[in-house]
Amino acid sequence: MKDNVKLTLTMGLVAGSLAIAAPAYAEGEVVFASWGGSFQDALRSAMLEPAASTLGVTVKEDTTNGIQDVRAQITAGAVAWDVTEQDLPSCETLSREGKLEPIDYSIVDTTGIPEELIHENYIGFINFTKVIAYRTDAFDGAGPSNWAEFWDLENFPGNRGMHGKVNYNLEAALMADGVPMAEVYDVLATDEGMARAWAKLGEIAPEVTVWYRGGSQSAQLLRDGEVDVIHMGHNRVESVIESGIDVAYAFDGGTMDVDCLLVPKGAPNVENAMRLINELLSAEAQARLAVTMPLGPVNTGAFDTGIISGEQALSVNTHPSNYDKQLLVDPNFYIGQLGELTEEFDTLIQQ
């Protein structure tokens, strides 16, 4: 509700300023919206402030709660944001709905960005990976480090923790069942493949101690020793390790998801938006963020800037030595069937 009021105010203000201000003024600014909190604080110091001084424009900030905000602005005909960060399925959904400005690749330099993250109407921004992490004290130092071992309760007994939503779990089940990473989504595209994934997930489901809902909960479960092995955000695992707990993890079979940058259709400063995106994706900006928070730069050039130390680089999920070990999540699998998948998943985990 508060956000709606804020949104309405912002929209009103932007509409007002557009009507009154001379075009010269509009050229001098760009509005960027991300998830707020400490994450956006990190973005500000690593990316937004340097970009503002390089481009000579004012970068205004707002926060988003997701796809519905972008839709609301476009439907109301009062687009307030020039650039916003959204998760991959939202970007793809908005793109299909024709609600995005195409990315101007004459301004946005894609050097160093993996091809699969470059799309006509949006582009990858930051990579997040969920990895298998285990407490070394529970497994004498050699715990489950791939999906088959995660599923293997005989040789790796211990409490399991998994993500309490359908996302990533069907993929994990297929990998546990021996499907090579590259074929996971091909298998999931068939009815037999889907049935196979559900059956495999059904094997582990009764043995899962906690299906966690939030990132902070996953970190607490691992820290308190409530679970011995868990599939959770790699940046959270790093913070648990930093707090002095003996935890090991590997990137193999990790599920990698991406947040993207997009420009809503009808954004007030499209050209500045493209210039801002170019800055946000620059090797230097991406490297500066990676040292603030252990989240993956999409621009592999970030590792050549000298900003990320050699040792630190190895624990970043998008480092070339890690990237190919992980499964990049395919948003197309979820779009249009998330509701049904969620119901089937909830039926499975419901006691």
Partner 1 sequence: MSVAELNGAAQTLQNASTLKSEERRESLTFLGLSMPAVLAILIVVFLPIFWLSSLSFYNAAGELSMENYARIFESALYRRTFVVTFQITIAVTVICVLLGYPLCYWLTKVPDRTAAILMVFVLVPFWTSVLVRTYAWLVLLQRNGVINSSLMKLGVIQEPLQLAHNLTGSIIGMVHIMLPFLVLPLYATMRGVDTDLVRAAVGLGSSPRGAFWRVFFPMSLPGLFAGIVLVFILSLGFFVTPALLGGGKVQMLAQRIESTITVYSNWGAASALGVVLLLLALAMIWLMNRVFGLDKLFMR
Q: How far is the CB of 277 from partner 1 (least distance, A)?
A: 27
Distance CA 38, CA 27 (A): 29
* CB neighbours of residue 3 within 10 Å: 14
Q: Which of 41, 97, 116, 346 binds partner 1 (CB under 8 A)?
A: 346
- Report the DSSP pairing between strands 58-63 and 122-135: unpaired
Least Cα distance to 215 among 292, 281, 295 occurs for: 295
Residue 72 touching partner 1 (CB under 8 A): no
The amino acid present at 275, given as its one-letter code, is: R
Phi, psi of 203 (to 5 degrees): -65, -40
Contact string 267-306 vs partner 1 (x = CB under 8 A): ----------------------------------------
Query: 123 vs 221, which CB is nearer to partner 1?
Result: 221
Counting Cβ atoms within 10 Å, is residue 30 exposed (0-12), middle (13-18) or buried (19+)?
A: buried
Query: 26 vs 210, which CB is nearer to partner 1?
Result: 210
Least Cα distance to 258 among 116, 91, 103, 128 occurs for: 128
Residues 215-244 that bind partner 1 (CB under 8 A): 224-226
Binding segment toward partner 1, per CB under 8 A, in 103-111, 210-218, 299-307, 323-331: 210-218
Distance CA 274, CA 134 (A): 42
Q: Which of 26, 194, 248, 338 binds partner 1 (CB under 8 A)?
A: 338
Are residues 297 and 287 in contact, defined by beta-carbon separation less than 8 angstroms?
yes
Q: Which of 183, 213, 270, 290 binds partner 1 (CB under 8 A)?
A: 213
Q: 328 vs 5, 181, 208, 253, 325, CA distance in Å?
A: 37, 9, 24, 10, 10
Query: 194 vs 338, which CB is nearer to partner 1?
Result: 338
Q: How far is the CB of 33 from partner 1 (least distance, A)?
A: 19
Q: Which of 35, 39, 198, 211 binds partner 1 (CB under 8 A)?
A: 211
Distance CA 282, CA 316 (A): 17
Residue 245 touching partner 1 (CB under 8 A): no
Contact string 168-187 vs partner 1 (x = CB under 8 A): --------------------
Residue 343 touching partner 1 (CB under 8 A): yes
Residues that bind partner 1 (CB under 8 A): 68, 159, 164, 208-213, 224-226, 338-339, 342-343, 346-347, 349-351
